[in-house]
Chain A
Amino acid sequence: MYEGVVQDLIDELGKLPGIGPKSAQRIAFHLLGVDADQVRRLAEVLLQVKERVRFCTVCGNVAEADRCRICTDPRRDASVLCVVEEPKDVIAIERTREFHGRYHVLGGAISPIDGIGPEDLRIRELLQRLADGAVKELIIATDPNLEGEATATYLARIVAPLGVRVTRLASGLPVGGDLEYADEVTLGRALEGRRALDV
Chain B
Amino acid sequence: MYLEELRLADFRSYGSLSLNLTPGVTVFVGANGQGKTNIVEAVGYLATLRSHRTAVESPLIREGASRARIRGVVVDDGRTTSVDVDIIPGQANNAWINGVRVRRVREILGICKAVVFSPEDLKLVRGDPASRREYLDDLLVSLRPRYAAIRSEYERTVHQRNAYLKETLKRPHRLDPSHLDVWDQQLCRAAEALLKARLSLTSSLAPLVEQAYAAVAGHHSVVRLEYRSSVPEALTTQEPEAAYLAAIHRLREAELARGITLVGPHRDDLDIFLDDRPARMYASHGEAWSLALALRLAAYEMFRRDGTRPILVLDDVLAELDSGRRQALTETIDEAEQVLLTTAVDEDLPKATRFLVRAGEVRRVD
Contact = CB atoms under 8 A, between A and B. Distances in A.
B104 interface: yes
A44 to B, nearest CB: 33
Contacts of A22: 66
A112 B176 CA distance: 12
B91 A150 contact: no
Contacts of B178: 118, 154, 157-158
B181 interface: yes
B315 to A, nearest CB: 33
Nearest to A154: B182
Nearest to B152: A176
Contact of B179 (A118, A147, A174, A175): A118
Interface in A135-151: 146-147, 149-150
Interface string B99-123: 0000110000000000000000000
B364 interface: no
Contacts of B66: 22
Nearest to A175: B149
Contacts of A181: 103
A119 to B, nearest CB: 8
A26 B91 CA distance: 18
Interface of A, secondary structure class, is helix
B347 interface: no
B303 interface: no
A176 B146 CA distance: 12
Contact of A113 (B104, B149, B160, B176): B160
Interface string A152-192: 01100110000000000000001111000100000000000
A20 interface: yes
A181 B149 CA distance: 19
A111 B186 CA distance: 13
A117 interface: yes
B294 to A, nearest CB: 36
Could you say which interface size class chain B belongs to? 20 to 34
Given A111-B160, A113-B163, A149 B186 contact: yes
Interface in A82-133: 110-113, 115, 117-119
B160 A157 contact: no
B176 A150 contact: no
A118 B160 contact: no
Interface string B178-211: 1101110110000000000000000000000000
Given A176-B149, A177-B103, A150 B159 contact: no
Contacts of B149: 175-176
Interface residues of A, number: 23
Given A118-B176, A175-B149, A177-B103, A150 B181 contact: no
A154 B179 contact: yes
B182 A150 contact: yes
B104 A176 contact: yes
B361 interface: no
A113 B164 CA distance: 8
Interface string B52-85: 0000000000000010000000000000000000
B215 to A, nearest CB: 41
Interface string B137-167: 0000000000001000100110111011001
A115 B179 CA distance: 13
Looking at A20, A113, A181, which has the most chain B CB atoms within 10 Å of its CB? A113
Contact of A146 (B157, B163, B167): B157
- Interchain residue pairs A-B with the least CB separation, the first 7: A112-B163, A112-B164, A113-B163, A154-B182, A153-B182, A150-B182, A112-B160
Interface of A: 20, 22, 110-113, 115, 117-119, 146-147, 149-150, 153-154, 157-158, 174-177, 181
13 contacts: A110-B179, A111-B160, A112-B183, A113-B163, A117-B164, A117-B176, A150-B182, A150-B183, A157-B181, A157-B182, A174-B103, A175-B149, A177-B103
Given A112-B183, A154-B178, A174-B103, 13 more contacts: A110-B182, A112-B161, A112-B167, A117-B164, A117-B179, A118-B178, A150-B160, A154-B179, A154-B182, A157-B178, A157-B182, A176-B104, A177-B103
